[in-house]
Structure 1
């Protein structure tokens, strides 16, 4: 009887190992590992992801936010035209009610996207200020630059309205359409808890 149970259990384990709960998705996109904060937008042959590895960071902790653009069409690769980057990261700090723009140089660049291999860019604030802005805002932006140079952000409630803007190019390097994929995520940067 013992050998029979061992054989039955072995067969059950083999069958369980061969079964799969995977469901094919319409774009054959590799599933992201579970993340605390991610938005995924698909349009045509492209998938745009805006990701924060955490929903809450501690002030001084590295903030891990990035965008990805993945080509999922039929060709092995495709060229896209864009400004300095296809990714924009304007944001709002909701506690202070500050809009933080995202300036970028706008030369025409061409990037090759290989099917199934995401193009990734790490988020870094690029907000600026003018002589008309209030001193508090100017001081905040300067402190934000200093923090972001270390990979961190100041304490606050952040909303990132990410965008991927690009034009796919055909074999003649001519664009026939343009894409603007938008996603929005939020995360907090909190003061460190006092250690007593």
Structure 2
């Protein structure tokens, strides 16, 4: 009976340890916490999704982060106006505390969204710096630019504050919409 009680206690403690919402450990200098690699925002007739295909990528592994905008209203399709893209992917690398801006051209482009067919775009890199920025920041942004050419990112903890910004046209013409979502992922 005593051995059975010890086994039951051991199993209970093991299962309790596995069910924690946050798990903290050090591996390659990155402390992992509960990571939220997907986010979904619904506003009126539109759904905006921001997704990292994985919560943790290995160094040198292709990082797949994308945004989707889906029209779910009553029409078969709707036109929207936006900049070079309706999506932007500003980031923060949390271990270093560096912001990674996302720049794009600002022409007015129109896109047709078909009901139930998401418009998807993948993150392709970002960042910029000025002559007054610290050398450590400049070096990091240059590493981002180099890694982005391969579809990767330097090691770190990333938080993406994605935005879908567009103006509905046609029958739903109205104000500029700015739908925001936030996700996190790590590169080890």
Tell me how far 1:60 sits from its aligned partner.
0.2
Match of 2:79 in 1: 79
2:185 aligned residue (184, 187, 190)? 187
Say whether 1:106 aligns with 2:106: yes
Q: Which runs of 5+ in 1 are unaligned?
A: 1-35, 191-196
State TM-score, norm by structure 2.
0.79
Q: Which residues in structure 2 correspond to 1:161-180 (within 5 Å)?
A: 161-170=161-170, 175-180=173-178
Tell me how far 1:107 sits from its aligned partner.
0.6
Name the CA distance, whole Å, in 2 between partners of 1:64 and 1:176: 33
Match of 2:125 in 1: 125
Name the CA distance, whole Å, in 1 between partners of 2:159 and 2:78: 31
Name the CA distance, whole Å, in 2 between partners of 1:83 and 1:64: 22
Name the CA distance, whole Å, in 2 between partners of 1:111 and 1:41: 20
Name the CA distance, whole Å, in 2 between partners of 1:84 and 1:99: 22
Deviations 1:1-56 (A, max 9, x none): xxxxxxxxxxxxxxxxxxxxxxxxxxxxxxxxxxx721010001000000011111
The structure whose Rg is larger is 1
Tell me how far 1:110 sits from its aligned partner.
0.4
Say whether 1:43 aligns with 2:43: yes
Say whether 1:55 aligns with 2:50: no
Name the CA distance, whole Å, in 2 between partners of 1:161 and 1:100: 10
Aligned to 2:121, the other structure's residue is in SS state: strand
Q: Which runs of 5+ in 2 are unaligned?
A: 1-35
Aligned to 1:75, the other structure's residue is in SS state: coil
Name the CA distance, whole Å, in 2 between partners of 1:117 and 1:188: 29
Q: Which runs of 4+ in 1 moved over 3 A?
A: none
Aligned to 1:136, the other structure's residue is in SS state: helix
Tell me how far 1:175 sits from its aligned partner.
3.6
Aligned to 1:182, the other structure's residue is in SS state: strand
State TM-score, norm by structure 1.
0.76
Number of aligned positions between the proteins: 153
Tell me how far 1:177 sits from its aligned partner.
2.0
